[in-house]
Amino acid sequence: MNRCKLLLIAFLAFITNGFSLLGIGQGSIGGVARAIEANHNIARNIETASAMGMLAGNPPVKPEMAFFGPFQIDCSVIGMCEVLA
């Protein structure tokens, strides 16, 4: 392995892990990934809590169907006036 490739690999390793090695954990790649994941989890939990809050006190929505009741039947049309009277 020539010297240029070795320096390149050492430089990339330092960029990737250098902040952790220097004791600055917030700037390391792992710290950034953990911060992004934590922010994502917090946002998802806030979204879920607000959605559940909107559903907590509301009854289920009834379908908008036409309801024609109470029905009245003209007994003379069906010929049952004598039975019903």
Q: Which of the pair, 23 or 84, is modelled with greater confidence? A: 23
Distance CA 48, CA 45 (A): 5
- The parent domain of residue 17 ranges over 1-85
Among 14-18, 45-49, 63-67, the least confident range = 63-67
- How confident is the prediction for the chain on average, in pLDDT? 75
Distance CA 83, CA 80 (A): 5
Give the pLDDT confidence score for residue 41 in this predicted structure. Answer: 94
Give the pLDDT confidence score for residue 21 in this predicted structure. Answer: 73
- For 28, residues 6+ apart whose C-beta sits below 8 A from its C-beta are 17, 18, 19, 20
Number of domains in the chain: 1
35-62 pLDDT, tens digit per residue, is: 889 999 999 999 998 888 776 666 666 7
Q: Is the pTM of this model over 0.75?
A: no
